[in-house]
Amino acid sequence: MSQDNIFQEIDEELRSDRMRALWRRFGPYVIGAAIAVVALVAVNEGWSWYHSSNAAKSSDELYAAFSLIDGGDLAAAEAQLDTLIGDGTGGYPILAQFRKAGVLATDGKVSEAVALYDSLANSQSNPNLRELALVLGGMLMVDNGSLGDVEARVGSLTTEASPLRNGAREALGLAQYKAGDFAAAQASFEAVINDPMTQSATRNRMGYYLAQLLSRGAIAEEPAADAGEATPLEPAAQ
């Protein structure tokens, strides 16, 4: 789209404001889902870690850090997690690093949080933990980096083979929206909608994103679907 500089800057500011509004509204759900994955990893693997490495002390330290986070004492929580990272046993130091990155992001230290996620992604042999670190880092870069920053982290995770593909697609779509690549954003959001494994809440959120694109004329309205068939802007109930 050809405009002189002042109108281009205004358009970019408006787009950035819309992007921040979307992320403020839905970001906690996305990040919450990712944190749930961390919790699931802890539940599934924590028991075996406990028995294989006698990590009862590390488990107690991790939950103590969680309590400090819930109480809002982020500085103390970070110190507790650093201790666990340094002398913990089993897989608990890894979980502590994931949680520390979340604490850093909550405390406004986004660059440090992203650096920690990147470090985890580069050091993990477990592909699920590696992908989780990439998606979480990519999510933070949606509002704090460029489209290239997000693509570098989640671009390879949007295929059907990745269990975190929809988190990656959502982060990528939001970054594309922010960058003004509306056709690409539409494709990313629709890929989530069309995935049979997508939960209804996530599908509805994608529908909201698409409705925002449609309302500002960034994408064309989809032709009416047959009765009973959901369009990308009208997610099917599950």
* Sequence-ordered strand ranges (E) for the chain: none
Read off the amino acid at residue 178.
Answer: K
pLDDT of res. 112:
96
pLDDT of res. 227:
43
Structural fold of domain 5-215: 1.25.40
Cα distance between residue 208 and residue 25, in whole Å: 11
Q: Strand, coil or helix: what is 107?
A: coil
pLDDT of res. 235:
46
Burial of 136 (0-12, 13-18, 19+ CB in 10 A): buried
- Integer angstrom CA distances of residue 24 from 28, 101, 140, 142, 201: 7, 19, 12, 11, 17
What is the Rg, in whole angstroms, of the alpha carbon atoms belonging to the chain?
Answer: 20
- CA 144 centroid distance within chain: 13
pLDDT of res. 118:
96
Mean residue pLDDT of the chain comes to: 79
Are 113 and 143 spatial neighbours (Cβ–Cβ below 8 Å)? no
Cα distance between residue 233 and residue 193, in whole Å: 9
- Taking only the tens place, the pLDDT of each residue in 58-85 is 888 888 888 898 899 999 999 999 999 9
Share of the chain above pLDDT 70, in %: 70
DSSP state, residue 164: T
pLDDT of res. 10:
38
Q: ∠133-134-140 over CA atoms, to 5°?
A: 90
Short-list 101, 104, 93, 35, CA closest to 59: 93
Cα distance between residue 93 and residue 89, in whole Å: 7
Q: Strand, coil or helix: what is 197?
A: coil
Task: Enter the pTM of the model.
Answer: 0.72
